[in-house]
Amino acid sequence: MAGHYQIIKYLGGGGFGQTFLARDSHLPGNPLCVVKQLKPQLNQPQALETAKRLFEREAQTLYRLGTHDQIPRLLAHFEQDEEFYLVQEFVEGQPLNQEFALGQKITESEAIALLNDILQVLAFVHQQQVIHRDIKPANLIRRRRDRKIVLIDFGVVKAVSTPASNLYGATSITVAVGSPGYMPSEQQAGQPYFSSDIYAVGMVVLQALTGLSPTSKQTSQRLPRDQYGEFSCTLLRDRMTIHPGLATILDKMVRYDYRQRYRDASEALQALEQFRQDTQGDEPITHPQTLVVPTTHPQSPITDHQTPTLPLSSPQTLDEPEGQVSLNSSFYVERPPVESDCYNAILKPGALIRVKAPRQMGKSSLLSRILNYASQQGYRTVCLNFQSADAEFLTSLDQFLQWFCASVSWNLGLDDRLDTYWRGILGSKNKCTDYFQRYLLSETTRPLVLGLDEVDQIFQYPDIATDFFGLLRAWHEQGKNQAIWQRLRLVFVHSKEVYIPLNINQSPFNVGIPIELPELNPVQVWDLVQRHSLDWQPNQVEELMSMTGGHPYLVRVALYQIARGKMTLEKLLQVAPTEEGPFYDHLRRHLLNLEENAELVAAIQQVVAANQSVEIKAAAAFKLRSMGLVKFQGNAVTPLCQMYRRYFRDRLKN
DSSP states along 204-261? HHHHHHH--BSS-SSGGGB----TTS---GGGGTTT----HHHHHHHHHHT-SSGGGS
For position 619, what pLDDT does the model report? 87
For position 496, what pLDDT does the model report? 61
- Listed in sequence order, the DSSP H helices in 102-171 are 108-127
Q: Provide the CATH topology of domain 5-89.
A: Phosphorylase Kinase; domain 1 (3.30.200)
379 has a pLDDT exceeding 80? yes
CATH number for 93-290 (one of 1.20.120.1200, 1.10.510.10, 1.10.287.610, 3.30.10.20): it is 1.10.510.10
Active site residue 134: yes
Tell me the average pLDDT of the chain. Answer: 84
Is residue 252 annotated as involved in ligand binding?
no
Phi then psi for residue 274, to 5 deg, are: -65, -40
Separation CA 587–CA 601 (nearest Å)? 14
CB atoms within 10 A of CB 553: 19
620 has a pLDDT exceeding 50? yes
Instruction: Note the CATH number of domain 580-654.
Output: 1.10.10
Q: Provide the CATH topology of domain 338-512.
A: Rossmann fold (3.40.50)
For position 559, what pLDDT does the model report? 96
For position 509, what pLDDT does the model report? 66
Options 24, 117, 134, 251, the catalytic residue:
134
What CA dihedral angle connects 328, 333, 335 and 336, to 10 degrees?
60
Separation CA 508–CA 455 (nearest Å)? 12
Query: 175 or 221, which is more confident?
Result: 221
CB atoms within 10 A of CB 410: 12
* Tens digits of residue pLDDT in 255-282: 988 888 999 999 999 999 999 888 876 5
SS3 121: helix
42 has a pLDDT exceeding 60? no
Query: 518 or 27, which is more confident?
Result: 518
Q: Which of 613, 166, 615 is nearest to 347 (CA)?
A: 166
**CB-side neighbour CA atoms (13 Å) of 614:** 14
Query: 217 or 486, which is more confident?
Result: 486
Global model pTM greater than 0.85: no
41 has a pLDDT exceeding 80? no
The helix (run of H) or strand (run of E) holding residue 375 is: helix 363-376
* Tens digits of residue pLDDT in 394-440: 889 999 999 999 999 999 999 999 999 998 888 999 999 999 999 99
Q: Which of 598, 611, 623 is nearest to 649 (CA)?
A: 611
198 has a pLDDT exceeding 90? yes
Give the range among 119-128, 319-328, 564-573 with minimum mean pLDDT: 319-328
